[in-house]
Structure 1
Amino acid sequence: MKILLINAHPDYQNPQRTINQLTATAQATIAAQAPHAEVETLTLYDPATQIPRITAETLAATEMSPVQRHLIDQWKAADLTVILMPLHNFNVVSKLKDYIDNVFIAGETFKYTADGSVGLLSNQHKVVYVQSSGSDYAHDFRYVTADIAPYYLRTIMSLMGITAMEVIRAQGLDLANSDKPAIVEATKHQLSAYLTKALAATD
């Protein structure tokens, strides 16, 4: 089994960050439940991680770069992908958008047909998206329509042919009177439970 773990937090080295704590939980759960799985971790904001951006030169290129080729092959090979990200201005962080732009490619992960685009990836490819946020985007009426990031990712996954996308939230972290440690612990438990079930199903 191949697992791709994507940490999309700009402050990826800070162990106090919620997303980094949840990344550690995912790693520990995978190690315990699927010790023989092939796990690759992609830390998007690590300077050592190459994520090409769209430029005039990349648009004009006639051949795919080796870096992009690797990112596409890595994405397509994964049986389970775990994306962990802090919500930023209602949407995905810029490095995750750059990453999606590298793997959402016609002829690779989807194709155009006379009836519109068709995904090229199997629905057996599972994706879990873990989002941290200061406000409550699932229940607060003021924010539910601003919950753009999960909708964006669901759309991309669906267009690739992936419909099994789970969303797990650590939300309301910055609200007055919120018990942040309790929220984080509950999210860790939810993530661990999801991964345990998903890994058992592919055993």
Structure 2
Amino acid sequence: MKTLLINAHPDFTNHNHFSVQLQDKFIEKYKNEFPDNKLTIINLYDLDIPRIETDGLLAIWDKQKSDIALNSTEAVIAKQSAALLTQFKDYHRIVISTPLHNFNITSRLKDYMDNIIIARETFKYTESGSVGLMTDDYRLLLLQASGGVYTNNDRYTALDFAPNYLKEMFTNIMGFSQFDLVRTQGTNTLSADKVWESANINLEKAFRLFYEK
């Protein structure tokens, strides 16, 4: 199954990080399940990702609305953004591997999202609200590591912004048919064995659902 894996960790080559280890476990399962398929992996902190800035995407979008020609620098940025969008739309299985940074997604992942949540490309506006355009069995699997535990129905549960944001953007806004989440949580408070006890079980279940026909 053709799959795009997006690593959103700044230190993506360091396999001591729980999110990177969880990603490694996913890759191992993928290779065992689909030995003849190639898994496409991109590391966001190894890419030049356009940002919403006055001399970046903001200027480009304003000019495109008014049918004004882009300058040479803007043309390069527009091409980079279009390439990210094209690649994203070409995969019906998307995996995001990320840690939490200050209770939210990493800054580079937010920049990436700003290049794929594009009106008339991945969603459209209507009089009754926005409608997702990615409805042809697109699925998202989130692999997330966090120092705290967010499933104990305590004050941290209300701070579970990252997965809620991603779920709503992919399913509610862009129209993905499925969102699954596997956590390695409590990495700063629990033993590694305890962290992986539930994560391994959840990964097995999520992996089956993710590729279920």
* TM-score with structure 1 setting the length: 0.90
Asked which structure has the greater CA Rg, the reply is 2
Contact 2:23 2:143 in 1 (8 A): no
Contact 1:4/1:39 (8 A) holds in 2? yes
Does residue 54 of structure 1 match 2:68?
A: no
Structure 1 102/34 Cα, relative in aligned 2: closer, same or farther at 3 Å? same
1:66 aligns with 2:64: no
Distance 1:8 1:185 in 2: 24
Question: Matches of residues 74-153 of structure 1 in structure 2 within 5 Å?
Answer: 74-122=87-135, 124-153=137-166
Residue-by-residue CA offset, 1:5-44 (whole Å, 9 max, x unaligned): 0111111111111111111111111111012334211111
Q: Is the 8 A contact 1:86 1:131 kept in 2?
A: yes
Over aligned residue pairs, what C-alpha RMSD do you find?
A: 1.7
8 A contact 1:33–1:196 mirrored in 2: no
**Cross-structure match for 2:4:** 4
Q: Unmatched 5+ residue regions in structure 1?
A: none
CA contact 1:25–1:192 (8 Å) conserved in 2: no
Cα deviation for residue 140 of structure 1 reads 4.7
Q: 1:153 to 1:167 in 2, by over 3 A?
A: same
Q: After the TM superposition, which parts of structure 1 deviate over 3 Å for at least 4 consecutive aligned residues? A: none
Which runs of 5 or more residues in structure 2 are unaligned?
65-69
Between the two proteins, what is the percent identity of the paired residues? 37
Secondary structure at the residue paired with 1:45?
helix
Query: For 1:90-122, what per-residue CA distance to the aligned partner results, in whole angstroms no more than 9, with x for missing partners?
Result: 111100000000000001100011111110001
**In terms of mean alpha carbon deviation, does 89-98 or 50-59 score higher?**
50-59
The answer (yes or no) to whether the contact 1:29–1:196 under 8 Å persists in 2 is no
Normalised to the residue count of structure 2, the TM-score between the two structures is 0.86
Count of residues in Structure 1 that have an aligned counterpart in Structure 2: 197
